[in-house]
Chains A and B, each alone.
Chain A
């Protein structure tokens, strides 16, 4: 069975500092991996995805993530945090089959201080 573990339910950084949100997955087949962002009382917005090909994936708002099969990880990074990055972030995994339901991690709340 697939699963996702997000390490750290809450991460705090200063504006301009590196953002690192950790995600480890478990999957018996090649996975599709996703990061979503959620602002209060809103739906989830796709930040980036890994399906096949290049393991370093670039997304919106300056975020990127690297798929490391040997470490079963898909950590999200951003070189310089901005106040507007404060939100909740979810990592998700699905089997590499069309239409398969996504399994989500429990989320990491990112706080950014000035």
Chain B
């Protein structure tokens, strides 16, 4: 079955470390997104990509970086510049056709700074 896979499910980061969250989809979707979820704040957009080798900053891009070298993959790096990275991170994908049906979400990665 087609879907979107995030790994790892849980991730622990030491102060000053960079960590990379994986997101892979086999839905043949063109667009992919990263959101951060904090209690009571809903989902906030970090980065999104509508096509390979192109991506745009969302509302809270500072301290994060992404790449889109393949259609199937959209990894997110949380850099040491992100001062408060503890959160639940969600990856999503969608079509770019006129038949836009919303997003398909992964099951998330919970990142904790230790």
Residues of A at the B interface (CB closer than 8 Å) are 9, 32, 34, 36, 41-46, 49, 51, 90, 92, 94, 97-107
Contact B42 A44 (CB under 8 A): no
In the docked arrangement, what's the CA distance between A3 and B6, Å?
Answer: 27
| Distance to closest chain A CB from B3 (angstroms) | 10
Query: Can you list 24 contacts pairing A with B, beta carbon distance less than 8 Å?
Result: A9-B40, A41-B110, A43-B92, A43-B106, A44-B90, A44-B103, A46-B101, A51-B100, A98-B95, A98-B97, A98-B98, A98-B99, A99-B30, A99-B50, A99-B95, A99-B100, A101-B45, A101-B58, A102-B33, A102-B103, A104-B35, A104-B42, A106-B42, A107-B42
Where the two chains meet, the residues of B that have a C-beta atom closer than 8 Å to any C-beta of A are: 6, 30-31, 33, 35, 40-43, 45, 48, 50, 58, 88, 90, 92, 94-108, 110
A-B pairs with CB below 8 Å: how many? 67
Establish whether residues A90 and B42, one from each chain, have CB atoms under 8 Å apart when the complex forms. yes
Q: Are B96 and A98 in contact (CB under 8 A)?
A: yes
Residues of A within 8 Å of B99, CB to CB, are 98
Known: A43-B90, A99-B94, A99-B100. A104 touches B106 (CB 8 A): no
Q: Which residues of the partner chain A approach B31 to less than 8 Å between Cβ atoms? A: 99
**Given A43-B105, A44-B92, A97-B100, 7 extra CB contacts under 8 A:** A46-B102, A94-B100, A98-B96, A99-B95, A99-B100, A101-B33, A104-B42
Given contacts A101-B48, A101-B58, A106-B40, contact A42 B102 (CB under 8 A): no
Q: Which residues of A contact B88 (CB under 8 A)?
A: 41
Q: How far is the CB of B72 from chain A (nearest CB, A)?
A: 17
Closest 8 CB pairs of A and B: A43-B105, A99-B96, A106-B42, A104-B43, A44-B105, A99-B31, A43-B107, A98-B96
B48 surroundings in chain A (CB, below 8 A)? 101
| Bound CA–CA A105/B90 (angstroms) | 15
Q: How far, in angstroms, from A26 to B101 measured CA to CA in the complex?
A: 20
Of B103, B104, B106, B108, which contacts A41 at CB under 8 A? B108
Measured in the bound complex, the distance between the Cα atoms of B90 and A45 in whole Å is 12
